[in-house]
């Protein structure tokens, strides 16, 4: 793909995702200029001392030429992040993208600002950790991971191709997915599992208190690992993708009730058949992947 590289890249929000983007580009000798913005200027200064960005504060007067701005903040901080960018540099030559796990709120805001919408390509790297912050960032976070681009009617083909090249440079495999379909799918495959992990830990701690992990063999720790994720990020995701997440929770209730009924009836053959079918389905899907 022969597309023009960005002269400048600005990451807004220097946490796990934003910091990992900067580490990757820095370690792989990105030929342009790297900048960062964050409400916490101590984080900016730390990223500067690590030679990840050129600026040491929120002053970006030196930025000239075209620029990719990557918004890597909690979803509901979208407007504040845009305002911070507008205060810091001229946006006429800026292409915006995001790393948000839900798109519906972003689209609502973009629909009310057509000028911004024409310069905004939505994306979502499927990479992360229950750990957060610049200290946990790593240059390999996106290697062989999926990155989704969700085009809308105002996007230009050249912008889509440039953003695809950006994610591929970080090591990701890029696919395109409609924004509504994106939110429907990730409500089930990502947002629902996180909600269940938080709910399970709430139940276990209320019932067992400090004995929750005293008698577990490790599988419980593995299953509930994502309940240690950043609460601000997941609060925003649950609010911004509320409708689809509620549908997913309703669907899960049906499956949970089915399991409850099977156990209540106590029919060994029925339980085994249910478990075998689910095991077979999961194993075959993982193999296909």
CA distance 250 to 189: 14
In this predicted structure, the answer to whether residue 2 has a pLDDT above a threshold of 80 is no
- When pLDDT is averaged across residues 180-197 and rounded to a whole number, the result is 97
Q: How confident is the model at residue 84 (pLDDT cuts 50, 70, 90)?
A: confident
In this predicted structure, the answer to whether residue 1 has a pLDDT above a threshold of 50 is no
CB 13 within 8 A of CB 135: no
175's enclosing H/E stretch is: strand 173-176
| pLDDT for position 90 | 72
| pLDDT for position 278 | 95
Picking from 121, 192, 124, 129, the residue whose alpha carbon sits closest to that of residue 162 is 121
Give the predicted TM-score (pTM) of the model: 0.91
- When pLDDT is averaged across residues 191-214 and rounded to a whole number, the result is 95
In this predicted structure, the answer to whether residue 3 has a pLDDT above a threshold of 60 is no
Give the DSSP letter of residue 188.
Answer: I
Domains and CATH numbers, the chain: 8-177 (3.40.50.720), 182-288 (1.10.3660.10)
| pLDDT for position 202 | 96
Q: How confident is the model at residue 91 (pLDDT cuts 50, 70, 90)?
A: low
Q: How confident is the model at residue 93 (pLDDT cuts 50, 70, 90)?
A: confident
DSSP of 133-159: SGGG--TTTTTT-EEEEE--TT--HHH
Task: Tell me how many degrees the CA angle 76-143-185 measures, rounded to the nearest 5.
Answer: 45
Strand-by-strand arrangement of the 146-150 sheet: 33-37, 8-12, 67-71, 94-98, 120-125, 146-150, 173-176
CA distance 195 to 73: 20
The neighbour count for residue 6, using CB atoms within 10 Å, is 23
| pLDDT for position 17 | 96
Give strand pairing partners of 149: 123, 176
pLDDT digits (tens, 9 = 90+) for 113-160: 998 999 999 999 999 888 889 999 999 999 999 999 999 999 999 999
Taking each helix axis from N to C terminus, what angle separates 242-265 and 231-240, rounded to the nearest 10 degrees?
100
In this predicted structure, the answer to whether residue 5 has a pLDDT above a threshold of 60 is yes
Mean pLDDT of the chain: 93
């Amino acid at each position: 793909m022969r597309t023009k590289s960005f002269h400048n890249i600005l990451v807004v929000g220097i946490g796990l995702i934003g910091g990992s983007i900067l580490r990757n580009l820095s370690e792989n000798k990105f030929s342009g200029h790297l900048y960062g913005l964050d409400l916490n200027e101590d984080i900016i200064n730390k990223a500067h001392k690590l030679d990840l960005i050129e600026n040491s504060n929120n002053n970006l007067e030196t930025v000239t030429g075209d620029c990719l701005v990557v918004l890597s903040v909690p979803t509901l901080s979208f407007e504040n992040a845009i305002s911070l960018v507008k205060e810091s540099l001229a946006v006429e030559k800026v292409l915006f993208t995001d790393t948000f796990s839900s798109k519906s709120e972003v689209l609502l805001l973009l629909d009310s600002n057509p000028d911004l919408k024409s310069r905004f390509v939505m994306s979502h790297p499927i990479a992360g950790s229950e750990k957060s912050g610049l200290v946990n960032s790593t240059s390999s976070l996106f290697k062989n991971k999926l990155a989704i681009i969700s085009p809308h009617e105002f996007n230009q083909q050249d912008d889509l191709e440039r953003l695809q090249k950006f994610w591929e440079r970080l090591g990701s495999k890029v696919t395109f997915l409609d924004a509504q379909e994106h939110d429907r799918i990730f409500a089930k495959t990502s947002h629902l599992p996180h909600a269940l992990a938080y709910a399970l830990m709430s139940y276990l701690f209320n019932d067992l208190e400090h004995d929750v992990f005293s008698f577990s063999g490790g599988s419980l720790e593995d299953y509930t690992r994502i309940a240690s994720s950043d609460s601000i990020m997941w609060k925003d995701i649950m609010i911004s993708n509320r409708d689809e997440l509620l549908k997913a929770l309703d669907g899960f209730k049906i499956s949970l009730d089915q399991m409850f009924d099977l156990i209540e009836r106590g029919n060994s053959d029925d339980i085994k058949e249910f478990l075998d079918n689910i095991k077979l389905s999961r194993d075959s899907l993982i193999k296909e992947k």
